[in-house]
A and B are shown apart, each in its own frame.
Chain A
Amino acid sequence: MKKKQKEKKTAADTEAGMGREFNADKKIAVQAGSTRKLALFAMFTAVALIFSYMETLIPVYPAIPGIKLGLANIVTIVVLNRYGVRDTVLISFVRIILSALLFGNLTVMLYSLAGAACSIIIMWLFLKLHFFSLTGISILGGVSHNIGQLLVAAVLIENQNILSYAPVLLITGTVAGIAVGIAASFIIKSIKTL
């Protein structure tokens, strides 16, 4: 965040001080910035995808569909915190499409998209409110992901009885959210150049 502000400042300074002659230079700088962004976002997507894959490797067979750690949410939180909601939506979307194509199927993709949409909206709102720290936001993200997914599942299979999984998913979403939130805080704290 700090670095971004600094960059903006220097860019503004050059523009004001040097006039039009340096417009070409500025263009290159902008391009370098977007190349950096491209590389970073590609890395974020790759890391999120690896997290998704790692989760399929963990040999835990939950009794209820939807119980998972949500490691990919670490990336979502970092990007949401550092870059904003647009970039988060983009990276999550690409990650879900790719992971569904690689490790899942179309139905799974629908559930994931619904869950991700819910959790990004909720996390974004609460990030703006500054009421909870990242851990709280991660908990809200995990829980809203589970609830969104469950609602879509109830609609898709047209059976409201599966809503009885909600309490268990509430608990597991909270626990997973705590772990993911702490991990994301560590990453944001220790890698300043992201």
Chain B
Amino acid sequence: MVKKRDLILAGAFIILGVMLTILIRLSKKPGSKVVLYINGIRTETYSLKEEGTYFIETEDGKNSFRIEDGTVRMEAADCPDQVCIHMGRIESKGETIVCLPHKVVLQIEGGTSAHYDIR
């Protein structure tokens, strides 16, 4: 039922997954702004330093997200799966919150303007 080969395959996949996860974690950089993509189109940019709640409405549905303490999270969505809400907060460069049913993506971008205090 379970051959040794199967276990080797499973082990290889899990090790590969863990290694890639570590690699992605290590390459994280702080972000400074969050970019909103709707349907793959870059729609708007918000600074991570300004707190606020924003509402978006697309032809597929409605979402709202909140910027707070340099992090972003999806607050509400009228989609059935609610996956984007459970993705939690994001703050590092390249991190995304994706709402697949509404084709909405929030992505953190870096940016030099926010880090003048490095000497």
Contacts and interface: CB of A to CB of B under 8 A. Distances in A.
A157 B3 contact: no
Nearest to A153: B100
| Chain A: interface size category | 35 or more
A113 interface: no
Interface in B59-83: 60, 80-83
A185 B6 contact: no
Given A62-B83, A62-B86, A178-B10, A164 B5 contact: no
20 contacts: A63-B86, A105-B101, A107-B60, A135-B3, A140-B9, A156-B40, A157-B37, A158-B41, A161-B94, A161-B105, A162-B105, A164-B96, A167-B18, A167-B20, A174-B13, A177-B10, A178-B2, A182-B1, A185-B1, A189-B1
A183 to B, nearest CB: 11
Contact of A161 (B9, B13, B100, B107): B107
Contacts, number: 121
A153 to B, nearest CB: 6
A132 interface: yes
Contacts of B114: none
A62 B86 CA distance: 7
Interface residues of B, number: 38
B24 interface: yes
The 9 closest A-B pairs by CB, nearest first: A158-B40, A167-B20, A136-B6, A171-B17, A61-B86, A170-B17, A174-B13, A167-B21, A167-B17
Nearest to A177: B10
A84 interface: no
Contact of A111 (B40, B88, B96, B100): B100
Contacts of A134: 1
A104 B9 CA distance: 32
A181 B1 CA distance: 9
A135 B40 contact: no
